[in-house]
A and B are shown apart, each in its own frame.
Chain A
Amino acid sequence: MKTRHYFGALDALQEGQFSIRELGNRSVGATLHQGKPVVVLNFCPHAGAPICRGKITASQYTDAAYQLHLDAEHPVLRCPWHGWEFSLESGGLHFESRLHLAFLEYELDGTDLYVWI
């Protein structure tokens, strides 16, 4: 059964960087993307790295004319070990559909962020 844990004040979260808390024996990371909280389990589904210690960075894509683009509007979380990049929006990898960031349920109570684990 899930329980509700206090993560911290919403205004302490930063875009582009995870804050990490130990809650209910799990390590949890939270950041902001376009002003909204993104809350994930701090555990890479590939090999178990503390993924929230990785860098949030612009995604890279090639358009139909083979021009290379960096897209800061759709950032990825790059694992601190093997460098695998997970979409901060969908949680997915572009080359492996079986693995996914574990997003956690959260709620806002005024300016406070709570996480369900």
Chain B
Amino acid sequence: MPKAQAIIDCDVHNTYRSQTELYPYLAEPWLSRLKEKGFGYPLETFYGSVHAKRLDAKPENGPAGSDYGLMKTQLLDKLSIDYVVLTGEGISGLSYMPDAEYPAALASAYNQYLVEEWLSKDERFLGSLHVAIQHPEAAATEIYRWGAHPKVVQVSIPAATTLPLAHPFYRPILRAAAEMDLVVALHFRQPGPSAPDLTPVGMPFSYLDYHALIGLPYQAQLVMLVSSGVFEELPNLKIMMMEGGFIWAIHLMWRFDKDYKALHRLAPALRKLPSEYILQHFMFGVQPIYEPREASKLQEVIEAGGLQHNLVFGSDYPHWDADEPDFIRRYLPAAWDSAIFYDNAASWFKSFKQPA
């Protein structure tokens, strides 16, 4: 039997059993605040008609994603995953809290918890830092604090932000990530108290609309990151867009190039076409995989945009719309297996680089 394709799963949502697991890593006065008031923001904004997480992924004594043993059985061992990037769960709403210092302290506590309680458990685990993006200086400090850890490979931030990610306000975060060779991973988040509108026409009516429109903030971020010239300033900046789809990136490459040819004076820092920056500085998660009625049509679309070297696998376990590798394979050609399940991600994460 041929050796199975090695797999890097770029999106697995680990979490703590309860907030008490963060207590050892939190200083006063934040510890008392967490004990008395909890996180202080809602985690589930929209009513979903289905469960938020796979029903079979919930351990007896905590939320789905909180039990290493069950994750090992259902994901790592069952699917023969070689590496898993832990992307966090409950902590992810802190960038939408209205204040700055408390969420920054929570992020710092979570990152230490991640390193001590998760990354040490299994040699297949890699880590995503969480930061409070409304406090860029503190976020950069976290990135410099943990960036050299051999198993920390990325920093996770929300796809929708109150200012474009390319705005100078956020530059300390992007600069720190580029300097520490961490990938910047964009994930969508349920909106908290100080989240921006998720569409240009206001809030979606329901979880269905929200979920179908998740790609919108990613598109806005991609365009302004490119036009701002930040990739000339930070040539090592790598943006991984998870769960937001990717077919729209082909639309943008064609549209953006066309517009740039006439309007290039408005993006004076650029030295090549926008599509070239996109193919060099962006990766896109394939989950949730598109499921066209004729599977082969998806391959044709991806080839039209030349995107097959910009796609990475992330299962999104244990979320309700998670995809296992064999399910994704139904829609993609076997010839791309190595690129999508391993090579593309390995070419970006610092843990896979040979020492200089």
Cα distance, A63 to B348, chains bound together (Å) = 53
Q: A93 in the interface, Cβ–Cβ < 8 Å? A: no
Q: Which residues of B (48-62) have their CB < 8 Å from a CB of A?
A: 49-51, 54-56
Q: Which residues of B (124-147) have their CB < 8 Å from a CB of A?
A: none
In angstroms, how far is the closest chain A Cβ from the Cβ of B188?
A: 18
Pair A47/B324 contact, Cβ less than 8 Å: yes
Q: B321 in the interface, Cβ–Cβ < 8 Å? A: yes
Interface residue SS majority, chain B? loop
Cβ-closest chain A residue relative to B321: A82
Pair B51/A53 contact, Cβ less than 8 Å: no
In angstroms, how far is the closest chain A Cβ from the Cβ of B155?
A: 29
- In-complex Cβ contact of A53 among B49, B55, B322, B324 (8 A): B55
In angstroms, how far is the closest chain A Cβ from the Cβ of B60?
A: 14
Chain B CB count within 10 A is highest, among A50, A54, A83, for: A83
Residues of A within 8 A of B56 (CB): 49-50, 53, 80-81
Chain B CB count within 10 A is highest, among A47, A49, A81, for: A81
In angstroms, how far is the closest chain B Cβ from the Cβ of A67?
A: 18
In angstroms, how far is the closest chain A Cβ from the Cβ of B146?
A: 33
Cα distance, A54 to B57, chains bound together (Å) = 12
What's the tally of chain B residues with a CB closer than 8 Å to chain A? Answer: 13
Q: B327 in the interface, Cβ–Cβ < 8 Å? A: yes
Known: A53-B56, A55-B55, A80-B55. A48 touches B324 (CB 8 A): yes
Residues of B within 8 A of A50 (CB): 56
Q: B343 in the interface, Cβ–Cβ < 8 Å? A: no
Q: Mark A66-87, 1 if CB is under 8 A from B, else 0.
A: 0000000000001011110000
Pair A82/B320 contact, Cβ less than 8 Å: yes
Residues of A within 8 A of B89 (CB): none
Pair B327/A83 contact, Cβ less than 8 Å: no
Pair A80/B327 contact, Cβ less than 8 Å: no
What's the tally of chain A residues with a CB closer than 8 Å to chain B? Answer: 12
Pair B323/A80 contact, Cβ less than 8 Å: no
Residues of B within 8 A of A55 (CB): 55
- In-complex Cβ contact of A81 among B49, B322, B326 (8 A): B322
Cα distance, A57 to B44, chains bound together (Å) = 22
Q: Which residues of A (15-68) have their CB < 8 Å from a CB of B?
A: 47-50, 53-55
- In-complex Cβ contact of B323 among A47, A53, A78, A83 (8 A): A47
Pair B50/A83 contact, Cβ less than 8 Å: yes
Pair A54/B55 contact, Cβ less than 8 Å: yes
Q: Which residues of A (74-110) have their CB < 8 Å from a CB of B?
A: 78, 80-83
Residues of A within 8 A of B320 (CB): 81-83
Residues of B within 8 A of A80 (CB): 51, 54-56
Cα distance, A27 to B238, chains bound together (Å) = 44
Pair B327/A47 contact, Cβ less than 8 Å: yes
In angstroms, how far is the closest chain A Cβ from the Cβ of B11?
A: 16
Residues of A within 8 A of B326 (CB): 48
Cβ-closest chain B residue relative to A85: B50
Pair B324/A83 contact, Cβ less than 8 Å: no
Residues of B within 8 A of A54 (CB): 55
Q: Mark B310-351, 1 if CB is under 8 A from A, else 0.
A: 000000000011111011000000000000000000000000
Pair A78/B324 contact, Cβ less than 8 Å: no
In angstroms, how far is the closest chain B Cβ from the Cβ of A78?
A: 7
Chain B CB count within 10 A is highest, among A49, A55, A82, for: A82
Cβ-closest chain A residue relative to B288: A82
Cα distance, A78 to B321, chains bound together (Å) = 13
5 more contacts with CB within 8 A, not counting A47-B327, A83-B320, are A48-B324, A80-B51, A80-B56, A83-B49, A83-B50
Please provide the 6 A-B residue pairs with the shortest distance between their CB atoms, ordered closest to farther: A83-B50, A80-B55, A47-B327, A53-B56, A80-B56, A81-B54
Chain B residues engaging chain A, CB cutoff 8 angstroms: 49-51, 54-56, 320-324, 326-327
25 pairs, A vs B, C-beta closer than 8 Å: A47-B323, A47-B324, A48-B326, A49-B54, A49-B56, A50-B56, A53-B55, A53-B56, A54-B55, A78-B50, A80-B51, A80-B54, A80-B55, A80-B56, A81-B54, A81-B56, A81-B320, A81-B321, A81-B322, A82-B50, A82-B320, A83-B49, A83-B50, A83-B51, A83-B320
